[in-house]
Amino acid sequence: MTTILAITSYLKGEEFLREAKRQGAHVILVTKEKLADAAWPRDHIDQIFLMPDLEKLPDVLYGVSYLMRQNKIDRIVPLDEYECRDGRYPAVSICVWAGKASRRLKSSAIS
């Protein structure tokens, strides 16, 4: 089973989350604490992890690394224009890769 980790700081990407689940993926959502009660398609999300802030890349990397201890993550998908442009961080290439992965996933079936 493919595991998708979706990251978003806004309520968006609901149809993507639904489709990923319909195609058999294990769906994990990482979002801001203030969106805890938002109208997420909870019946299509297996796990939701809340963070105080998604603007601090080191904190996000630490949080995702912690999740990866317990979950085999196959795809990281930014659902909005997640901040990946700060070249000071060596993990920027991960964000660029994640963006490419999300485009591939939207146009093809989950294997």
Per-residue model confidence as pLDDT tens digits over 12-27: 999 999 999 999 999 9
For the stretch 46-105, pLDDT in tens is: 999 999 988 787 888 888 888 888 888 888 888 876 545 544 433 334 444 444 444 443
So what's the architecture of 3-107 in CATH?
3-Layer(aba) Sandwich (3.40)
Residue pair 14/48 in contact by the 8 Å Cβ criterion: no
What pLDDT score was predicted for residue 79? 84
Domain range list for the chain: 3-107
3-class secondary structure, 58: helix
Q: Which of 66, 14, 54, 12 is nearest to 30 (CA)?
A: 54
> Greatest CA separation found in the chain?
38
- pTM > 0.75: yes or no: no
Q: Which of 59, 61, 64, 24 is nearest to 44 (CA)?
A: 24
